Amino acid sequence: MRWGGLAGDGGGSAGEDESAGEDESAGEDESAGEDKSADENGANATLDPVRVAVRVGDRTLRDENRSVPANGSMTVTAAIDAASLGPGDHKIAVTVGEASATRTVTVEEARAATFAVSEIEVPKSVGYGETLTIAATVTNVGDVTGNQTVEIRYGTEATANRTVALDGGGEARLSVTFGDVRLDGGDHPVTVATANRTRERAVTLVHPSPYGKTTIRLFVDDGAVDRNVSGVVAGATSYWERNDERYLGYPVAYERVSEADRADVVLRFDSVERCGVEDGDARYFGCADLLVDEPRTPMTATVEPNISDAEMNATIIHELGHIQGLEHGEEPAGLMAPTSNLTTHRPVKIHLRAESGDVPRRVEDEVAEGLDYFAASEDIAGSDGFAWEFVDSAREAHVQITYDDRGDVCFADGGGSCTVDGEYYGQRDVRLEEMDDEVVAWHVGASFGSVLFDEVPPELTGEADRREREEWPG
């Protein structure tokens, strides 16, 4: 603080760090008579010494005798650390001889460390699966040193924390890189937050899916099905979730919703009489909208309610493939084939049953031997080969095989084999009626060969004699 002469009472303010030096305009030991170059009544003449005191409250900053120049004007300087006074109003008193003056100075309270986010730098857009770098400038707008944890996040989940120490008025630039950004398409918030302030920007994520997002909301209308098929539906959606990048080129996750008007895709179970321009005389397991360019809201798939669980699973996978943009014949070729048959399922699920009682072990072995022949063959129609497994019920099966030691469905008299309708819509039942165990494998081979081979070998045709049938497959 600096005073020039004496004045009446006044007011002022000082910051916590305000201080002043002891620069004085006249020294304490000056003597007017020693300067021979000036007249005794000239500029170097002085008055008698006076007592000079400077006080702040009850604290004395300066108390000394001072020589007053002849012109009656001098400067008195005193310094004090404002922080030692504490916040509030303080009275400053200056006395020179019999004269005095006072002034009130206000010491403001130091501002606590307060961290503000002054700038965020992010790209306008980022591709799905790419990296996202976020840079931010954090400033301590307070007066004292402090440290805080700064939270940097994008979307609603990815978060990184950085601890920063800053002096009052200081700033720091932080940078965080998030790898493999996987969010739905659109604008997502990028937020930088301190304990005091939050700042936000938006970054656009470009998603490769035609739906613009990973999660597809699915509504299932299964009122026409006489059993619980939630597991079948879940198995079909899980197939695409496991193989999305391989066959679709973009990620997919299905979420079941309870309201159709919230759905991106509606899966309903109902009879399908016709599908697009396909042959109207065919029997249909399902039909679906084909995604071209952009999806409509909602996309719809219909599946026959009376097919077996095995066929239903494959049909839902097939129809969801259309809804995701795949056409007939595209990979996975078997599942996206226009017609469901033994070459489109892997494995083919087979229910072996007896018309009465249990299936004899010898008959079961013969059936397995016939099926294994096709599993080992390299001549199966299509590219995926043939695989099979036994299941416990017709509901789980693509195909039934029924053993009947006294049957007459195929022939009124005499044994043999034939293929008839199974328990479920579109399911085939291979009947083995009134035959010796030695020819069971051959009859299985003859029934399956016409479907699995483009050209049936002579030994599996009706031209084969008894000996050839007993020896097959050799």
**Section 2-29 average pLDDT:** 36
Opening angle at CA 438, ends 437 and 442, nearest 5: 105
* Spatial distance between the Cα atoms of 237 and 254, rounded to a whole number of angstroms: 6
125-158 in b/e form (b: 16+ CB < 10 A) is ebebeeebebebbbbbbbbeebebebebbbbeeb
**Section 188-201 average pLDDT:** 95
Burial class (CB in 10 A: 0-12, 13-18, 19+), 18: middle
- In this predicted structure, the answer to whether residue 347 has a pLDDT above a threshold of 60 is yes
**Section 152-173 average pLDDT:** 93
CATH class belonging to 348-471: alpha beta
β-strand partners of 125: 204
Query: Taking all residues of the chain, what is their mean pLDDT, rounded to a whole number?
Result: 87
- Taking only the tens place, the pLDDT of each residue in 433-450 is 999 999 999 999 999 999
CATH class belonging to 115-206: mainly beta
- In this predicted structure, the answer to whether residue 91 has a pLDDT above a threshold of 50 is yes
> Which runs of consecutive H residues, i.e. helices, occur in 74-192?
none
Chain centroid, CA 50 distance in Å = 82
Lowest mean pLDDT among 24-33, 86-95, 159-168, 372-381: 24-33
Opening angle at CA 66, ends 31 and 11, nearest 5: 145
pLDDT for the residue numbered 393: 97
Helices H / strands E in the chain, number of each: 5, 25
Asked whether 101 and 8 are in contact (CB, 8 A), the reply is yes
175 contact partners, CB below 8 Å, separation of at least 6: 133, 134, 135, 136
Residue count of the chain, please give it. Answer: 474
Q: What is 318-380 written as a DSSP string?
A: HHHHHHTTPPTTSSSTTTT-SS-STTS-SSEEEEEEESSSPPPHHHHHHHHHHHHHHHH-S-B
* Spatial distance between the Cα atoms of 276 and 292, rounded to a whole number of angstroms: 15
- In this predicted structure, the answer to whether residue 212 has a pLDDT above a threshold of 70 is yes
Q: Which fold has domain 215-323?
A: Collagenase (Catalytic Domain) (3.40.390)
- In this predicted structure, the answer to whether residue 80 has a pLDDT above a threshold of 90 is no
Q: What is 277-308 written as a DSSP string?
A: TS-TTS--SEEEPPP-SS--SSEEEEE-TTS-
- In this predicted structure, the answer to whether residue 186 has a pLDDT above a threshold of 50 is yes
Between residues 177 and 344, which one has the greater pLDDT?
A: 177
Between residues 93 and 343, which one has the greater pLDDT?
A: 93
Between residues 5 and 289, which one has the greater pLDDT?
A: 289
pLDDT for the residue numbered 219: 98
> Where exactly are the structural domains of the chain?
2-107, 115-206, 215-323, 348-471
pLDDT for the residue numbered 341: 83
The percent of residues above 70 in pLDDT, for the chain, comes to 89
pLDDT for the residue numbered 71: 76
| 449 CB-side CA count, 13 A | 19
The two tokens of residue 146 are 């402090």
- Taking only the tens place, the pLDDT of each residue in 41-74 is 455 566 778 899 999 988 998 999 988 787 767 7
- In this predicted structure, the answer to whether residue 19 has a pLDDT above a threshold of 80 is no
pLDDT for the residue numbered 277: 64
- Taking only the tens place, the pLDDT of each residue in 412-427 is 777 899 999 999 999 9
Chain centroid, CA 428 distance in Å = 45
**Section 197-224 average pLDDT:** 96
Secondary structure of residue 186 in the 3-state scheme? strand
**Section 407-416 average pLDDT:** 82
Asked whether 300 and 331 are in contact (CB, 8 A), the reply is no
Bond into 457 cis (ω within 30): no
- In this predicted structure, the answer to whether residue 217 has a pLDDT above a threshold of 80 is yes
Asked whether 432 and 443 are in contact (CB, 8 A), the reply is yes
β-strand partners of 150: 162
pLDDT for the residue numbered 278: 58
The two tokens of residue 94 are 């200056």
Cα distances (angstroms) measured from residue 408 to each of 356, 403, 430, 442: 14, 12, 13, 19
Nearest Cα residue to 134 out of 169, 159, 165, 164: 159
- In this predicted structure, the answer to whether residue 16 has a pLDDT above a threshold of 60 is no
Cα distances (angstroms) measured from residue 90 to each of 2, 11, 95, 220, 281: 16, 10, 17, 78, 103
Q: Given the structure tokens 């035609």, which residue do they identify? A: 210
The model carries a pTM of 0.71
pLDDT for the residue numbered 274: 87
